Chain A
Amino acid sequence: MEILDYMGAIFSLSNLTVLFFATAAGLILGALPGLSPTMAVALLIPFTFQMDAATGLVLLGAVYTATVAGGAISGILVNIPGAPANIATVLDGHPMAKQGKATQALHFCFISSFVGGIIGVLVLIFFTPPLAQLALKFGPSEMFWMAIVGVTVIGTLGSKSVIKGLFSGALGLWISTIGISPIFGESRFVFSDHLTGGVHIVVALIGLFAVPQIYQLLVTSRQTSSGGLFAMESSPLWTSIKYNLSRVKALAIGTISGVVVGIIPGAGGQIAGLVAYDQVRKFSPDASKFGNGEPDGVIAAESANNAMVGPSLVPLLTLGIPGSPTAAVLLGGLLINGLFPGPDLFTVHAEVTWTFIGSLLLAQVFMIIIGLALSRSSSYWVMRVPSQYMAAAVTILAVFGTYSIQNSYSDVVLMLVLGSLMYLLNKYGFSAAPIVLGIILGPIAEDNFSMGKMIADVGDGALPYFMTGSINLVLIFVCVVSIGYSVWVEVKQRRLVAHDQKRSAPGTRVAAIGAVVAAAVVMTMVMSADGSQAYDFPFLLAVLMLAFAVMLLIDVLRMWTREKSGQGLVEWTDLGAGIAVIVAYLLLLQSAGFYLASWLAFTTIVVVYSSTKNRQQLTRILWVSIGFMVAIYALFNLSLRVVTPGLL
């Protein structure tokens, strides 16, 4: 236990101060859409230039841990995951909030994050050398199968129908192929200039989750007069702790999934939560509870994404190979202090390294204390915000968050367009999670398949390359089990409902026809491109999309006349004004400048969607909008130094 020699440095006053502020800032940054852990760490690196090595690293490590947990706050309260790592948390966390259990969901989130986080760092402390060797064994073939394991999760993810889930997943995989292919150098499906750089995962995440939520909030504000989001039950902390710690199975599954995914370089913690969520659901005696506010879903997802943090540093610290995108940014933070990954880190620079690792452990403690302290007040606060204000605030945050990822106006356009389409898809029973998962896994699957094939072609051929080796075989086995289980559950469920009692949900016909049309359009685009190798993977996806769409259609045809009425599925009358404002906002962004346009958009949305419009109310809106924009300016311009075009 070499770490014990450095307790003095870990518990020094300056170190504790840094940890406190970094954790608080990380939780808040993580809760904002667009400010993913990767971004937060990258933006803070310049600040560490002025600090000594240990302090700088402690700051980055604490922010990393806290942002991963903070992303759950917005996910649970507003249904918008702060980062890809928190997608799985939203699936049951937001339904819990809607049932009045927001505080409880946040409690579970921080307690589970703490448990997972501590175990993750302990793994880092005790098992670094053997795990580093394992990490290196993951070559293209193993990474390809890893991505396929992820794909098999898609079908069960948050959709009511497995086929719709699979179709959404294939659609997401296809979206990931837009832009210039890194392996073939060919530009694919770029039918608009906005698409040359492809669809960035965080841009898609914000669009697919935040924009439908904006529309939903606008509709809510028209249809209810009081305007609050949801009621709230009181939840004593002690009850939450007792319940949470009694869910040993969910915690264990979450933590193990997080640790395993974390050490695999490049797989990224983004999928740790989803893999854990899928596993805990499959092991549950009553899978139907998931998606409707099952605490186990939150517990597994959050313990997984924080358990991933420690192990993702294993390959980074020993080999200089980061296990997650955020760890990659952290590498810069190490190098700038002259700390080269490798054995030297634990001998020559032992003090800095162990202070850093010890502080990561302590950061978990700060995270749970600050997080739990914030749980009640933040959910109480969010609950009281009237829907129209919430919609306006989310709109502006989504735009700034999206822009700040790559300083790109195209990304803002893409975010709003993708999100608006997602609102429609939601209405017809498709969900965002499998699409986002597809976008995450697409490049991992395709690039590793292509690289593996290149290597195999000059060696023994593709079949032995991909189908032999112990890790490959294990992963293939996991895939088979995962698919087999999903099929078995689907068959079992269908038998339960007698055929003639079934009536299809409203909009099923439109959904099936829409899916077929979309698949046909993608297929046409693939076929009309020259048949180069770069289109092999998109072709496979088009075939899958078409197959799932046809399956959907066959399902519908059997019950064609028995569809429930779908009148008013999309509330166009309530949404018209909101859509008009958002389009005007988009057009004004570049000419009028981000801050002026955002202020106008915020004010207009709130004014149009407020039911009372007397003088007092308008004055209040004016002050709130100005205050909000000042806060946005302070955050993005002054603190994060995001450069926005236009005058203001």
Chain B
Amino acid sequence: MILKKIKSSLVTAAVTSLLLVPSATVLADDYPSAPIQVAVAYGPGGATDFQARIVTMMAGKEKYLNMPMVIFNKPGAGGQKGWNWYASDASKDGHQLAAYNVPHFIAQSLKFDTSYNTGNLEPIANWGADPAVLIVPADSPFNSATDLVAWSKANPGKLTVSGAGLYVGHHIASLQLDKAADISTKYIPAGGGVAAMKMVLGSQVMAGFNNLSDAFRQGDRIKILAVADNQREEGFLPDVPTFKEQGIEIDDSSVNFRGIMARKGTPPEVIEFLAERVHLMFQDAKVAGKMKAGGSPMRIMTRAEVKQMWVERQAYLTELLSDL
């Protein structure tokens, strides 16, 4: 008897609640009508999470979004779990956004069966760029990228290089190095940037690719041989040359770009609004101050610039990863 009663009340409750779910289309005039959630596909405390929390902290100001942005983490499988969820289940009314990491999500969409790709996501704005740098232990005999390449040529296949994981910027940089210098290195995918750094500090590998910001913080415990970008990082490492300056043709394809994106199908007015205001928000003096204190290089880019960058990366990565 009681069970029957419960059953009927459960069904009633389910039906009522379905009817009450607000309709998915929200008029852009009211936007944003509630706090905006930003999904981060990595765990709390990691670089992406940490930076996302800083750059969104001023969202509640009237001149920006007039509503707070709330970060929530959906980690798993190197970001795939969170982005899969975002591209297939998140709302399209602009109240659920996500943080992106290029080249990770593009490379993953090419190599794995994911529900996301550059076609079904809309960039809003870019806040940061963390180039990969080539590092070696402080007591390493290598003093330049050319030294390292020369040794690798003399000892084919013997050079071990650590990086944060598979198909992240560090892996891309290591593939580019192999190709540009015509050597074959042994890439060791450690479980995260910190683990990869530890292997270099402890001389368990001969070299590593790591984030410029993390390498910078290590000071003289390591040697930074080259920056995998088109220009030097003047703010943090003005004295470290790029690969190109050392005659190795590596461009900025491995640079880890971080920014905010929306789902395709979000009303164009909402996207335009976000593209304008989020871009402004990233330039807030307080945001810049916290980012600088944390040693996180900023690179603010507009929606149009990010769109262009995604297209270029997509084309380049398709070619680079096709041989793998």
Contact = CB atoms under 8 A, between A and B. Distances in A.
Contact of B202 (A46, A139, A179, A580): A139
Contacts of A196: 76-77, 80-81, 84
A138 to B, nearest CB: 7
A44 B45 CA distance: 11
A13 interface: no
B284 to A, nearest CB: 13
B13 interface: yes
A185 B111 contact: yes
Interface string B19-57: 011000000000000000101000111100110011001
Given A336-B54, A455-B186, A600 B13 contact: yes
A600 B17 CA distance: 13
Contacts of A185: 111-112, 166-167
A611 interface: no
Interface in A180-228: 180, 182-183, 185, 187, 196-198, 200
Contacts of A200: 76
A604 B6 CA distance: 7
Contact of A458 (B45, B71, B157, B202): B157
Given A406-B74, A641-B70, A647 B21 contact: yes
Contacts of A482: none
Contacts of B221: 319, 342
B84 to A, nearest CB: 7
A592 B17 contact: yes
B124 interface: no
A183 to B, nearest CB: 6
B72 A407 contact: yes
Contacts of A443: 191
B45 to A, nearest CB: 3
A336 B294 contact: yes
Interface stretch (B192-200, B263-271, B304-312): B192-200
Contacts of B3: 577, 580, 608
A596 B17 contact: yes
Interface in A398-415: 406-408
Interface string B200-226: 011011000000001001110100000
Contacts of B18: 591
B230 interface: no
A325 B84 CA distance: 25
A643 interface: yes
A198 B77 contact: yes
B194 A340 contact: no
Interface in A115-129: none
A447 B191 contact: yes
B14 interface: yes
Contacts of A648: 17
Interface residues of A, number: 73
A161 interface: no
Report which residue of A183, A344, A613 has the largest number of chain B beta carbons within 10 angstroms of its beta carbon. A183
Nearest to A190: B77
B190 A451 contact: yes
B223 to A, nearest CB: 15
B2 interface: yes
A137 B112 CA distance: 35
Interface in A22-64: 38-39, 41-43, 45-46, 49
A42 to B, nearest CB: 3
Interface in A580-619: 580-581, 584, 588, 591-593, 596, 600, 604, 607-608, 613
Contacts of A608: 2-3, 6
Nearest to A331: B45
Contacts of B158: 458-459
A608 B5 CA distance: 11
A646 B54 contact: no
A451 B20 CA distance: 52
B113 to A, nearest CB: 9
A514 interface: no
A10 interface: no
Contacts of B189: 182-183, 451
Nearest to B37: A643
A82 interface: no
A584 B6 CA distance: 11
Contacts of B78: 180, 182
Contacts of A631: none
14 contacts: A138-B202, A183-B166, A197-B80, A266-B198, A320-B217, A335-B217, A336-B290, A336-B293, A342-B217, A443-B191, A451-B188, A596-B13, A608-B6, A646-B21
Given A140-B199, A408-B74, A607-B2, 18 more contacts: A46-B57, A49-B53, A140-B204, A183-B189, A266-B198, A329-B45, A335-B217, A335-B294, A336-B293, A406-B81, A451-B190, A581-B6, A588-B10, A591-B17, A592-B13, A596-B17, A642-B72, A643-B70
